[in-house]
Amino acid sequence: MSRKELDRAGVMSRVESEDLKLGDAARLMGVSYRQAKRIRGKYREHGAVGLRHGNAGKQSHRARPDAERSEILRLVGENYGGAEGERFGPTLAAEHLEREHGRKVHAETLRRWMLKEGLWSRARKRRRMRQRRERREHFGELVQLDGSQHGWLEERGPRGCLMDMVDDATSVAEIRLEQQETTWAAARVLRNWIERHGVPLALYVDRKNVYVSSGSEQERMSGKPALTQFGRMCQKLGIRIIAAGSPQAKGRVERAHGTHQDRLVKELRLRGIDSHAEANRYIEQEYLAEHNRRLSRPARKGEDYHRAAPSAAQLRKIFRLEYEHSISNDWVVRHQGRHYQLERQRRNYAPAGSKVTVWEAEDGTLGIEYQGQALRWKQIVAPMKPEKTHRPADRTAAAPRRKTIPGAGHPWRKRMNLTTEERQSVRLWKISNALSAASSSAAP
């Protein structure tokens, strides 16, 4: 018997012992007075067993046939089973059964079947609860960005880092598989987001050197904000960077990592994908659209806070690495061990000692600008440093001069040994000599 049926049996026993009126019993059971009378009749006729539901222990009329249930479980075991870290969950397995085999079954129904057959285990005990931060209200108001190092290709290919962007209001995602979480990796996924949705207001990132910098001592003393290369790109786009204090603070993108580590890894395994290029092609063409369709949600308010995306030419000028260097007296700029000779300019003249910007594009293209204008240059061979000449050892040379210490009869010693009266007489003698010399020079 269920808990509700046991509670009703206890209430009916109090009614039969006249400790409780039937009207009060109806309110205790949450039913009408007429329904309470029916329950009392069953209790008087059959006792507590009479309150048990009539279909208890019987198969539901809506249950799937045993043959169909066995066939579905066979497909799950052969195609989507395996070890605990490899097998598909009930939700993902139900999606593939409908798409690949034409067998439609509800995920919760499949979950019960898989639990009974040992094809799935219950969720592990959850960690200590943390209160979740409320979602932002508008699409594009805040986007979380993070990288996840994982064996995305398992043993078929190299490890990689999945760059994941998740909108805080809608959970719309943009992902890309890279080798490492670098400046260019973050720039590529951000550029994909901008081209697809527009420029968001803010990015929520962790405190890695790719995104934020503590700055040098000179920058901290001058009050100049320290920017990384990625931070400078976001500053040009008008995107505010917010650094999280802990992984739990950006929990939405952290939970999205777990979803991709379950679903994406299995999808890549089914298709035999073994390289980052093939994985990104599959993500772009199939996986991402299906993921956003299933797991995204509408924002609480309909206004889109994305700003219009810049043109392709403007994006090329924004997504590049920039370095500031000084021009030497011979109009040479040094950058990463290479030397670039500035050629004679017609209009934009850069004087020696001034600052120029050396930029590098993702494809390796390099340029030099002065006050926003491009300069003509050519790479030259670095000048050879003069070799240090070593004198051969001269064994006939004299020995090094030893340090001498004045003796007791040295004038320095005598001067130091004078008494106070003797020093005063010497000083008076010097004064008298100076006066006599002055008088003799003034005489005709």
Of 339, 327, 432, nearest in space to 381 by CA: 339
Mean pLDDT of 179-198: 95
Query: Which residue is associated with the tokens 């049996």?
Result: 9
**pLDDT of 328 strictly over 80:** yes
What does the DSSP 8-state code read for residue 95? H
Q: What is the pLDDT of residue 60?
A: 76
Q: What is the pLDDT of residue 133?
A: 75
Lowest mean pLDDT among 130-144, 160-174, 214-228, 321-335: 214-228
* 372-394 pLDDT tens trace: 888 888 988 877 766 666 665 55
User: Radius of gyration (Cα) for the chain, nearest Å?
Assistant: 42
Mean confidence (pLDDT) of the chain: 85
Task: Please tell me the distance from the alpha carbon of residue 27 to that of residue 36, in angstroms, as a whole number.
Answer: 9
Quick one: pLDDT band at residue 444, thresholds 50, 70, 90? low
Q: What is the pLDDT of residue 181?
A: 93
Mean pLDDT of 362-369: 91
Of 191, 139, 153, 165, nearest in space to 312 by CA: 191
Candidate ranges 285-294, 392-401, 422-431; pick with highest mean pLDDT: 285-294
Number of neighbours of residue 136 by Cβ within 10 angstroms: 21
* 9-55 pLDDT tens trace: 888 889 999 888 999 889 888 899 999 999 899 888 888 888 888 77
Lowest mean pLDDT among 133-142, 216-225, 246-255: 216-225
Quick one: pLDDT band at residue 337, thresholds 50, 70, 90? confident
Structure tokens at 32: 């009408």
Higher pLDDT, 76 or 3: 76
Q: What is the pLDDT of residue 124?
A: 61
What does the DSSP 8-state code read for residue 336? T
- HSE at residue 139, side-chain half, CA atoms within 13 A, is 16
Task: Please tell me the distance from the alpha carbon of residue 188 to that of residue 256, in angstroms, as a whole number.
Answer: 19
Residues contacting residue 364 through CB under 8 Å, at least 6 positions apart: none
**pLDDT of 275 strictly over 90:** yes
CB of 200 closer than 8 Å to CB of 165: no
Give the DSSP H or E segment for 338.
strand 338-342
Strands of 321-326's sheet in order across? 321-326, 355-360, 366-370, 373-374
Alpha helical stretches, state H, 47-151: 66-79, 90-100, 107-117
Structure tokens at 351: 């004087």
Angle value at C-alpha 366, between 360 and 369, nearest 5 degrees = 90
Quick one: pLDDT band at residue 167, thresholds 50, 70, 90? very high
Q: How far is CA 150 from CA 87, 159, 162, 181, in A?
A: 17, 6, 8, 12
* 389-409 pLDDT tens trace: 666 555 555 566 666 776 766
Task: Please tell me the distance from the alpha carbon of residue 204 to that of residue 220, in angstroms, as a whole number.
Answer: 23
Pairing between strand 240-243 and 366-370?
Answer: unpaired
Mean pLDDT of 184-195: 95
What does the DSSP 8-state code read for residue 287? I
